[in-house]
Structure 1
Amino acid sequence: MNVHAAGDLKTTGLTHPNGAPLRLNTQDFVAIDRDRNAKFEATYRPQALYNRANEGFHANNETFLLHEVATNLPIYRPDTGPTDFHLHLPPGGFQLVLVTSGAFTFDYDGRFYNVGPGAVMLQSAIVHRQLFYTWSGLSTEENLRTPQTVVPDPIAMGYSGKFLEAFITDPTTFPNPTIVGPDQINEAETPRVAWSHKLHNRPADAGFWLQDPLALDALFKPLTDGSVKSAMPVYLRDIGIEVPSGHLVTGHIIATDPRGQSLLPKSMSVAADASCFAKGEVVIYRVIRGTAEFRKKAGESFELSAGDVVTAGKDAISLVGISENTQVLRLGLLKGMNELRSWTPTQRDEIDGLAGQIITQKDIRPLRTEGRPVGYLYG
């Protein structure tokens, strides 16, 4: 993702980050990133435009970054297409992807995953690449305004591929080594890689996670406690990231159907667990579609529309209402994040420079649709 030092660097092994400790903002702060002020920039690759929630990032001591990634160029150009094999090493090993339009094919450690709107992935410390994405052919302005969703409907899958992505700290501050460059990839021999180095402070429970939007554990459940008002029934989906993140972040989607339709895949057998709204030393809400109303601790209300993000202290705001056909992502940042440290610039550059040298074993995956990714940096 980013390139720093390169060359044949020799180190004694990859170590724990020894930079400054991360600290969530425990004050009653409220920071809002409005979609009308969004700046989409091709920060890392020409085919993808990135819209960062910078106000929230800076207000929360730059500990957690949420951004929208919008595919904006066709895959057949010589400067776009499939990516290289690489990996990300954020503090705590946390990287979240939530697909919101189009379709993608990702290669995680030699296995293909075809995903569309609503798919959730935690993919840190896995050697991976993006093989395929959809592109609508619309102009940039039209493309950035196409509706997004967490429901796998055919119309949304026809748009350009987009996803919400989150990291602990800024991607430019931690290692993102390229393991196999695009010119060196042998499609007939996709490597499965294992690692011998003990590496940084990823929690013991953390691991690879993928949740299909139609899986049983992804179904929306009715929110019956009355905490969120709406003219339509309100539903809640747990995206399942608390345990695989190593208890660093929780994730939920609060949503309503369009009037007269049953759009959300749902289960009515049991009510949703509303205790999730109490989780998080810092909370982040991102409106994917529709509108949502929030109330500050002092009683002042404000509204967010599609594309808006609010980042706030633990009890600084509450979600009080959503309109019909609305989908809101809620992330709760947990205390464990305060146990992490950042990478120093020297550590980051050394690991980026090592690149493929840190691979210690290469195997052939006979069938690329079988088996879980095994290229963890921990074991």
Structure 2
Amino acid sequence: MTDTSTTAPLFAPTRLGSLDLPNRLVMAPMSRHRATADGVPTPIMAEYYAQRATAGLIIAEASTPNQVGYTYPGIPGLFTEAQTAGWRHVAEAVTAAGGRIFLQMEHGGRIGHPDNSGLVPVAPSPIALPGTVQTPSGQRDAPVPREMTTDDIRETVADFAAAARLAVRAGAAGVEVHSANGYLLNQFLATSTNHRTDAYGGSVPRRIRFVVEVVEAVADAIGPDRGLRISPDNLINGIAMDDADRLFPALLDALAPVGPAYLHVGYADPAAPLFGELRRRWPAPLIANPVLGRRLPLPADGGTSAAAELLAAGADLISFGRPFLANPDLVARLRTGAPLNPVRRDVSMYGGDATGYTDYPSLT
């Protein structure tokens, strides 16, 4: 049973950019692989997000801004009219249910495969992802990506801006730029994946340049309603950083004048010195995503103890992933201390039909 005395701050209203939010609970972006082979969001995706519209804000799963950015089968896109129309149905369903939705934009970089996109993946440097990539025919060895030229970089920056404009056309309240978890923007930041010697590699100011240019272009395209996600402590997909304590403060200093609506810190640790430093440097709202354990059952309190620690450490909003995945009415359950649905382990988390997706029960 949740101790409701510790959850009260989660239900206080707040403002994020131009949005008034009824509570501080954010549904974190989680890829669920239910789009069509052409990256078009499907009706069941609209149902899934509308079920969770009581969240203060929904940040939808990652959408690629161009063809070469595809990661895995079933990932939605945000660069064609059909994809925009599909996202419009999702946004309309969420709005009709009283919710607010941002679309997250993610380029996979080296995390991709020609069987998924029809193209050789691109990356800051020609360094393959360790391991395999999921394709329609199963797991395949990750290919060596093509090193991006400066023209590729300029075109990709423009693709992010174009995707942001399409998101707004689709009815989203804003966008989130994904620079975490080992995808393209994170690959430019990391010393393990960026071995460039030009203006986009080497020193900290050069490695942050691509991310800054993307955020600036998105800001020019749609205005203030955009955020940025980072994950300094989530070293997955072959990411290694030997200067995170210098790089991320420098990134925030460079972005502060641009004025993103929020910073979203994934796998946030309130006791980590870097988290405190990011909070001190960031002048706008900060969304923190607590570490709840990758393979463990959900905590009995739904993660509210971890949320309380992050709020005490300076976070303004808290994002939850799997608690929202298994509990469409998570806000009501946490508010009342009701038991939570467990995440089902007997079905695939990725792809499929309604099973394990839209069939989790609500309290009423």
Short-chain TM bin: 0.3 to 0.5
Give the alignment's TM-score, normalised by structure 2.
0.32
Greater strand share, 1 or 2? 1
Greater helix share, 1 or 2? 2
Give the alignment's TM-score, normalised by structure 1.
0.31
Bigger RCO of structures 1 and 2 (CA < 8 A, at least 6 apart): 1
